[in-house]
Chains A and B, each alone.
Chain A
Amino acid sequence: MNFTDPSNILEWIVYLANEYKFMFLEGLWTTLYIAVIGTFFGFILGYLVGMVQDIKINKQDNIVKRIVMRVVKIVCVVYVEIFRGTPMIVQGMIVYYGMLQADIKISPALAGILVVVLNTGAYMAETVRGGINSVDKGQKEGAWSLGMSPMLTMFRVVLPQAFKNVVPEMVNTFLTNLKMTSVLNVIGVSELFLVAKTAGGTYYKYFEAYLVIAVIYFVICFVLNRLFLLLEKKLAKKKAYTLAVEYMEGTA
């Protein structure tokens, strides 16, 4: 094998990977941080929007509060529909060029993160809403009957359980985002995909260059997926409780 003067596919792959290793690493780094930061804030946005959609407008509240709530709810619904109903690649273009036209200086990476956040938020909002609905209404009434406010009930009783139901979907969303960042090359974010495009273009060896990043994407997703599954299993295990023997006297 002659890796310095490549002549077949395998040699080319190794050659490209070696020649561009720092660029690939940088691309990987960019991909990872956009996915992580974007997903993280996307989750927060998704939870906020999902919770807003669960709030009931109270007939007894004053008119200002009711109007504000109604408007906020409508904005949320429109936002979710728009971002679920358009491709991320188009969202990326619109956000980036929209910002440019509005004379707002923004780096491609930041625009990329923004797109991931907005996109993730829209999908998560629906998932969170489903998670909230999956917690039975009885527990809410149990909390209310103790004098807990709807907000307190949401944060202490409903959300923790909704969260547990939603975790698998959150993992899924993160892994999807990791792969979806590849579309951000269209606005010039130098993540893995753009690196492969550049590296492949220099020698006109696109197939080999994309194979390199395919392997990287796959390994990262595979490893993370396994890790999350392991974690999930651990979390799902409910330990047998121990009887508090110190309180045993006088009871059956």
Chain B
Amino acid sequence: MSEKTAAKVISIENLSKSFGDHQVLRKIDFAVAKGEVICIVGSSGSGKSTLLRCINKLEQQTDGKIYFNGKEVEEKQREINEYRSRVGMVFQSFNLFENMTVLKNCMLAVTTVLHESKKEAFERAIKNLKSVGMAPYINAYPSQLSGGQKQRVAIARALCMNPEVLLFDEPTSALDPEMVGDVLNVMKELAHTGLTMIIVTHEMAFARDVSTRTIFMDRGYIVEDAPPHELFYSPKNPRTREFLSRFLKDQTEKTEAVANG
């Protein structure tokens, strides 16, 4: 472990992941300091989700190490649970508990994993649901909410654990366009609170404006890792350039399509 690793909240060294013969992540190296907001961009299939899932131990890496606050995350179930209670994750498909109300969704892990009192769990739930604008819906079941509402509840649920790091895997990709803004705004506010965040997203404007560092991934490699203005306006790697130009073209076309009705 390098000295650099010790000072970081999360650091990843030499991480590789294969599914059978198919190598999805290749020698990934990067570290996240407290308060950083990192956006990971890249075309689909480049391994972004797999990277986040490895960080959260939902996938087991084939090779390499993950350190949390300078300590290697071990493969024991108990340690993994402990670690996960401090590193939250927000999924593209929300993954709320369908058999529980919004309030119960937010309270369950606080009482059962952190062993906090019901009262404390309730207060945390209300506080965080308020911050995402979902407090009035405490009695609703997930199936009674829209996608954007579900995702905001999912964020509140993760926040109730008081996580040190929050991972987001394309949190707005499954949403109707008119809901995307609400969720992005919530995330933007979170970024300003100093929470450490790693966000996989296709929302380039968001990545550019909110992240403190942007990572471009391609075919399992981290191709470029730079402050957003560098990565978006003077990308060093030709693959980054190609990806961004494709994105910019899409963007212009979209704008034109809107302009032309």
Contact = CB atoms under 8 A, between A and B. Distances in A.
Interaction A to B: yes
Interface of A: 58, 60, 138-139, 141-150, 152, 156-157, 160-161, 164, 238, 240-245, 247-248, 250-252
Interface in B103-119: 108-109, 112-114
B136 A247 contact: yes
B141 interface: yes
A142 B96 CA distance: 7
B99 A238 contact: no
A150 B113 CA distance: 12
A61 to B, nearest CB: 8
B133 A251 contact: yes
A241 B139 contact: yes
Contacts of B95: 138-139, 141-142, 145
A242 B84 CA distance: 33
Interface string B74-95: 0111000111111011010111
6 contacts: A58-B77, A145-B58, A146-B84, A146-B157, A152-B113, A156-B97
A147 B162 CA distance: 12
Nearest to A152: B112
A146 B109 contact: yes
B121 to A, nearest CB: 12
A142 B91 contact: yes
A241 B137 contact: yes
A244 B137 contact: yes
Contact of B113 (A147, A241, A244): A147
A146 B138 contact: no
A251 B108 contact: no
A245 B96 CA distance: 23
A159 B85 CA distance: 22
Given A145-B56, A146-B113, A148-B112, A238 B98 contact: no
Contacts of A250: 130
A139 B154 CA distance: 11
Residue with the highest number of chain B CB atoms closer than 10 Å, among A141, A142, A148, A241? A142
B77 A149 contact: yes
B248 interface: no
A157 B137 CA distance: 20
In the A-B complex, the 5 residue pairs with the closest CB atoms: A147-B85, A142-B95, A247-B135, A146-B109, A145-B89
Nearest to A163: B99
Nearest to A140: B95
Given A145-B89, A152-B112, A161-B99, A252 B133 contact: yes
A240 B140 CA distance: 8
B126 interface: yes
B143 interface: yes
Given A138-B91, A146-B109, A148-B109, A243 B161 contact: no
Given A58-B77, A146-B157, A139 B97 contact: yes
A248 B136 contact: yes
Contact of B96 (A139, A160, A241): A139
A86 B124 CA distance: 55
